[in-house]
Amino acid sequence: MTRAAVWTGSGIEIRKMELPDLAAGETLVRVRLATVCGSDLHTISGRRPAPCPSILGHEAVGEVVVAGAGVAARAGDRIVWAVTVACGQCARCRTGFTAKCEFVRKFGHEPFDGDWPLSGAYAEYVVLPPNTTIARVPDTLTDAVAAPAACATATVMATLDAAETITGRVLIYGAGMLGITAAAACAEAGAQVYIDDVDPVRLELARKFGATPDNGAQVDLVFDFSGSACAITGALDRLDIGGTLVLAGSVAPGPHIGIDPENVVRRWQTITGVHNYEPHHLTRAVDFLHRTRATYPWSSVVAPPVELDELASQFTATPPGTLRMSCRP
């Protein structure tokens, strides 16, 4: 048997269910710790549509109980796993866009009454389908530090690839988990990093991750993790010649914004978007957290975990200085 926190559309219900018989290639994982991502909050608040009922949660660390055939892990290994599971055969997968697979399935985004009920991390156990990308967690990383690798950190790795070159002056909109992770990554790459956020506490926190408050000057690269139409419009005016704007925070419906195509052309600017990430970004995320574990205070931004029965209390505003709430199923 296993217990799971099921999102009903109006609240969280703790339900018991039998562990399913594993199909060929499936892996059973005991969830050690799951963090509360912004997309989960969007679902709870009604900003993002999601199957209902469902088990939410996709940023997590777990311990392998039964490893499926061909899985690069053994029972007892501590792992993180990618948000998406791709078919590997469709046109998008064949061209390298597995994150946008035509038949993509996503952890924490599947119906509880479907053929994959244990898809979310807010449960004692989760089932990993065949082709799930996993990465082993080194002993040097605690569960709290490693869990965001599965979404926030790996997504940032994808935005770095979209930017191509991380040098010069970088501006980041949004000092949440994505923003401070991007700040740390850009600072490590040698860039001068500026950050902007409406929360002064988060702005101060970002200093510990290599960023300073925005000074209004021209920049070479902008990352938007805020999803704010106002911030995005302002970003275009801030880009210098040859500048790049990477959008990753616009994951919920919002107002349309206008751009001046002539300005983009004459200033050789690039605008690109990132949603989800590719398998190698998960490995890079774990490596990055391991490499910077003594440089940046990753554990300080994740709140101590609560029990599964208290999960509903984690879908409220985070305390000042905290970027992720967490649960230990």
Task: Work out the pLDDT band at 317, boundaries 50, 70, 90.
Answer: confident
Question: Length of the chain in residues, anyone?
Answer: 329
pLDDT in tens, 32-79: 999 999 888 888 887 777 889 999 999 999 999 999 888 889 999 999
d(CA 201, CA 320): 7
| pLDDT more than 70, % of the chain | 100
Average pLDDT over residues 6-22: 93
Task: Indicate the range of 37-46, 184-193, 241-250 predicted with least confidence.
Answer: 37-46
d(CA 250, CA 231): 11
Q: What is the pTM of this model?
A: 0.96
Task: Work out the pLDDT band at 114, boundaries 50, 70, 90.
Answer: very high
Task: Work out the pLDDT band at 207, boundaries 50, 70, 90.
Answer: very high
Average pLDDT over residues 74-99: 96
pLDDT at 268 over 80: yes
d(CA 307, CA 34): 11
Average pLDDT over residues 95-115: 95
pLDDT of residue 43: 85
d(CA 122, CA 54): 10
Which residue type is seen at 60?
Answer: A
Handedness of CA 69, 148, 151, 58 (dihedral sign): positive
Average pLDDT over residues 221-232: 96
- Among 125, 163, 153, 194, CA closest to 273: 163
Q: Are 124 and 31 in contact (CB under 8 A)?
A: yes
pLDDT of residue 197: 97
pLDDT in tens, 167-180: 899 999 999 999 99
pLDDT at 288 over 90: yes
pLDDT of residue 48: 78
Kindly state the tokens that stand for 283: 């490995």
pLDDT at 128 over 90: yes
- The overall average pLDDT reported for the chain is 95
Across 141-238, the runs of DSSP E, i.e. the strands, are 169-173, 192-196, 212-213, 219-224
